[in-house]
Structure 1
């Protein structure tokens, strides 16, 4: 188990990477993933957030797998086969600013997948992403500004044996 405290918008939040863990579906708040094409990782530039992997919130009636496939298409214009990696626990117990009446639970989860891209479509900028880039995995830390657990998840994604 690998944990880290982060400051998200002034809030002190504990993140814990739980490889292969499948949390209760009602506690899943979003779904994300690393997408690969010819050994390179896909990063998307999201308006006002910088470069990151595709991902987003689960919409009503969607499964997490459907959410990730939709987000990868909407943000990166890619389709492919996916493999579940695990869950990032988002824990607000040490967050004095946590709103118990807000839209997030005190302990929630972000699910993560690996996608092996089988179809790369023209980039149309119809959603929130501005552009996409293909990056050697060892170059990701120089482009994507995120918590170090994102790099742990990338490392775990790279260890998945592609069939």
Structure 2
């Protein structure tokens, strides 16, 4: 378990194992690498970040991940794989599942989607982007990027 303090000063715990059954996970985050670039969304309030969001009632984590990526980016993904999970010790405490996925198809981005748009960034562009969301700047994200880059060739 990797423990860190996020940009909001909250204690977080990151694990690259499958979450134990007692962890009630209601949020998802998805890493998608395509042609050497990361799929990012431009959140209306937070800035540039990986796509993700809340699990809706009756949805599995995987269904939520696929839906959120499409709603935020107009990108259809496939080959979804569990990557990590983390717990944020906020009030209330919440957990987020992190997946990797592959691009299946890219639709034209329209105003119907939930965000201001999408951007494809290399790792260097991503870590140096001036408009990153707060959670994209913390040590947990840096650790996840390091680990996922080590497994990039398997994609």
Q: TM-score, normalised by structure 2?
A: 0.85
Q: Distance in 1 between matches of 2:20 and 2:72?
A: 25
Please tell me whether the aligned partners of residues 23 and 95 of structure 2 are also in contact (alpha carbons under 8 angstroms).
Answer: no
The residue that corresponds to 1:45 in the other structure is 42
Runs of 4+ in 1 over 4 A off after TM superposition: none
Q: CA deviation at 1:67?
A: 0.3
Aligned pair 1:29/2:15, yes or no?
no
Q: Which residue number in structure 1 is paired with residue 52 of structure 2?
A: 55
Native 8 Å contact 2:12 2:86 kept in 1: yes
> Mapping of 1:7-156 within 5 angstroms?
7-8=7-8, 12-24=9-21, 27-80=24-77, 81-92=79-90, 98=91, 104=92, 106=93, 108-143=94-129, 144-145=132-133, 146=136, 147-156=138-147
Q: How many correspondences in the alignment?
A: 147
CA 1:41/1:118 → structure 2, altered by over 3 Å: closer, same or farther? same
Preserved contact between residue 23 and residue 109 of structure 1 (Cα < 8 Å): no
Higher strand share: 1
Residues 78-121 of structure 1 deviation map (CA, whole Å, 9 limit, x = unaligned) = 112211101011124xxxxx3xxxxx3x3x31000111112111
Aligned-residue RMSD, C-alpha: 1.8
Which runs of 5 or more residues in structure 2 are unaligned?
none
For residues 127 and 30 of structure 1, the distance between their equivalents in structure 2, rounded to whole angstroms, comes to 19
Q: Distance in 2 between matches of 1:140 and 1:48?
A: 18
Stretches of structure 1 lacking an aligned partner (at least 5 in a row): 93-97, 99-103
